[in-house]
Amino acid sequence: MNSLPLDLLVPPHIKRFQAYIPSKPDEELKKIYRVPRIFRLNNNENLLGPPPAALQAIREFPPPRAAFYPSGDAYRLRCKLAERFGMHPDQFLAGNGANEVIGFVIKAFCRNGDNIVTADKTFAVYEWVAEFSGFEARLAPLVDFGFDEEGMLGKIDAHTKILFLCNPNNPTGSMWNRERLRRFLERIRGRQIVVVDEAYAEFVEDPGYPDGMALIREYPNLLIFRTFSKMFALAGLRIGYLAGSKEVVDIVRRTCVAYSVNSLAQVAALAALEESREHVARTREFVRQGKVFLKKEIAALGLPYVLGEGNFMMIKMPMNDALAYRKLMTRGVMVRSMTAFRFPDWIRITISHREAQEALVEALGKMLTALGPGIEEAG
């Protein structure tokens, strides 16, 4: 059998790209690290689980419906979102998680030679999707752990089509208030598409946080991303959406893959919206209490940390973050090592139940004790 001429078939930008390797299932990890249980603090999930109405909708989903295709454009969900935000259903577009929606937008507006602009230390999928699609990702360094307005503007050229702003930012939790976002949009003057990723919007309690949905009426070049994976705890069902002006969303819709959002995800998301107020309040209190506990305990360990909006926290380790990951795994605590986010020697953890947070603090304490004197030099 002749071998495949992969050197000729694979484009240069794919050859340069490194595949993302997900973690193994818990049962496999428990065997590898010889631990009885795993506390997963690595994925920014809502450990309270989905709203009760969503859980009920999942339980009542009739298995025979699995034989039939879902609504190809999430019609009922889009109508509900339009009702919720005072917009038209055609201003919304659902995807198989926010990651797919990112791909829709980049495919809709970029062609050979074009680029996107975002930050160097933010949700990496903007950069990844652009690069494996053959487009340049221009990265502006963060300033004080937040997006830098001047840095992003300075990266724009005639081939820049899209700017991605994560607000609040993953992994730092920093946010732009409404005045700063308005100023940025005014300076763009509609020349590029501006995507504001609000994956963690429902966690924000700062009164200065902008209402991205309302700003769409004033800025037709603005797209807002939201997800049901974080606050609404439907990460396993993979469903997110974007909102924008009819004109822009119509363009993006041309790149969509119909039927990519499964029926169960659509049903659960619709139910989650029905009781969102109670669920959001309950989750915010859960996260608030978790942050109070962790701020005290991590400070007592003498470790620097970054804690902003969202349901996550970054901690500076006195060692390589990959090594810290392995050491914590031997105690059954899984964290996110941050070198891939360009934060070497940092880890990110999800705000979780007290038992999980106590396990984290105990594991960190034992790890630091094992390092002994000279901990500052170790970093």
Q: What are 233-292's pLDDT values in tens digits? A: 999 999 999 999 999 999 999 999 899 999 999 999 999 998 889 999 999 999 999 999
Give 292: exposed, middle or buried? Use CB within 10 Å, 0-12, 13-18, 19+. Answer: exposed
pLDDT tens for 45-100 read: 999 999 999 999 999 999 999 999 999 999 999 999 999 999 999 999 999 988 89
Percent with pLDDT over 90 in the chain: 87
pLDDT band at residue 375 under the 50/70/90 scheme: very low
Rounded to an integer, what distance in angstroms lies between the CA atom of residue 101 and that of residue 164? 13
Geometric angle at alpha carbon 16, from 10 and 21, rounded to 5°:
100
Q: What is the arithmetic mean of pLDDT over 174-180?
A: 97
Rounded to an integer, what distance in angstroms lies between the CA atom of residue 254 and that of residue 108? 7
Hey, what CATH topology would domain 16-45+277-370 get? Aspartate Aminotransferase, domain 1 (3.90.1150)
Q: Does residue 338 have a pLDDT over 70?
A: yes
Same fold, 16-45+277-370 and 52-274: no
Q: Does residue 371 have a pLDDT over 60?
A: yes
Q: Does residue 196 have a pLDDT over 90?
A: yes
Give domain limits for the chain. Answer: 16-45+277-370, 52-274
pLDDT of 158 reads 97
pLDDT of 373 reads 63
Question: Quick one: tokens of 29?
Answer: 């990890």
Q: Does residue 22 have a pLDDT over 90?
A: no
Geometric angle at alpha carbon 15, from 13 and 19, rounded to 5°:
100
Q: Does residue 20 have a pLDDT over 80?
A: no
pLDDT of 19 reads 78
Rounded to an integer, what distance in angstroms lies between the CA atom of residue 235 and that of residue 116? 26
Q: Note whether 310 and 349 are within 8 A (CB).
A: no
pLDDT of 378 reads 36
Q: Does residue 2 have a pLDDT over 80?
A: no
Q: Does residue 32 have a pLDDT over 60?
A: yes
| Nearest residue to 232 (alpha-carbon basis) of 201, 259, 260 | 201
> In the chain, what is the straight-line distance between the N-terminal and C-terminal CA atoms, in Å?
53
pLDDT band at residue 18 under the 50/70/90 scheme: confident
pLDDT of 372 reads 74
Percent with pLDDT over 70 in the chain: 98
pLDDT of 292 reads 98
pLDDT tens for 91-128 read: 999 999 888 999 999 999 999 999 999 999 999 999 99
What architecture (CATH level 2) is domain 52-274?
3-Layer(aba) Sandwich (3.40)
- How many residues are given for the chain? 379
pLDDT band at residue 377 under the 50/70/90 scheme: very low
| Nearest residue to 280 (alpha-carbon basis) of 164, 212, 201, 377 | 201
